[in-house]
Amino acid sequence: MTTAETAATTKTETVLRSNPEIPQETGNMKNSKEYGAKIDKFIRLLRSGQKIGSADFAEPLDALIYGLISEFTTERQAKKIFKNLQSHFIDYNDLRVSRSEEIQEILEETDQPGEQVAVNLTRMLSAVFDKYDGLTLKAIDEQGKRQAKKELEELNGTTHFAVNFCFLAALQGHAIPLTKTMLSFLKSQELVCPEATQEEIEAFFERHIPASRDWEFYGLLRQAAEKGGKKSVLAKEARKKPAAKKKNK
């Protein structure tokens, strides 16, 4: 390789490493080709006979609240709790000024993580009210998705999962929210490296899953994770298929 070629290669690698729009392979998810093939097969299996509806969050604040609730419970329970919150409280301002104990009753939790979720809800709503002089986030993406996500992350009371969920579900951003249950499932199914951190796994998914398929993948993965099961889904499916017949020579 000539001096000029070496310099060009070095320059290209430097640009890739410094470009925040291109998640880089790091740490334990470097072997992404192998895991990517597993994920693709996994998606095909999950998609068979199942359909994930579109995200129904016209108001980003709804999605942020739902994200705070659903991080620590199942999707089915989260929908029930979210509906109960909306019917119990007059509006989000009523929720904002309510006692933590009253919110916990709706959450059907009397200790952690229900206590923390209740605190996060009131803190987040107060932060939104103070910053935007009202309880709506409909205009948060006027300056672009990147700025919108930054503003969500800066709100007191939000969590990493809730921000990613809101970014995906209401702002059509490129993100895969992962609960602890989903992370454990991915590792138990050997779909990601068992030593990989959540940050590494999320970066891997952002590289591998097209933005147009984010919501579908999130929904399918969450369904599978919450159904449970320790046996490998891929191995189980492989056993269903008849062995290929050997060709006569």
Question: Can you tell me the distance from the alpha carbon of 234 to that of 189, in angstroms, rounded to the nearest whole number?
Answer: 8
- What pLDDT does 232 receive? 63
Position 20 pLDDT exceeds 50 = no
- What pLDDT does 11 receive? 39
Burial class (CB in 10 A: 0-12, 13-18, 19+), 234: middle
Q: Say what percent of the chain tops pLDDT 70.
A: 79
* pTM exceeds cut of 0.85: no
- What pLDDT does 244 receive? 45
Assess contact for 40 and 52: CB atoms under 8 A.
no
Domains and CATH numbers, the chain: 60-169 (1.10.340.30), 175-227 (no CATH)
Mean pLDDT of 61-83: 96
Tally: H helices and E strands in the chain: 13, 0
CA atoms lying within 13 Å on the CB side of residue 210: 4
Residue 31 pLDDT class (50, 70, 90 cuts): confident
More confident site: 3 or 16: 3
**3-class secondary-structure state, position 58:** coil
Residue 191: how many other CB atoms lie within 10 Å? 19
- What pLDDT does 18 receive? 34
Roughly what angle, to the nearest 10 degrees, separates helices 114-132 and 60-70? 160
Position 233 pLDDT exceeds 90 = no
Lowest mean pLDDT among 14-23, 35-44, 159-168, 216-225: 14-23
CA atoms lying within 13 Å on the CB side of residue 163: 17
Which pair of tokens denotes residue 46?
């999950």
Mean pLDDT of 232-240: 55
Position 236 pLDDT exceeds 90 = no
- What pLDDT does 56 receive? 87
Burial class (CB in 10 A: 0-12, 13-18, 19+), 213: middle
CA dihedral 202, 40, 69, 229 (to 10 degrees): -120
Position 194 pLDDT exceeds 70 = yes
Distances (CA, A) of 192 to 53, 81, 165, 208: 26, 31, 21, 12
Mean pLDDT of 219-228: 93
Mean pLDDT of 58-70: 97
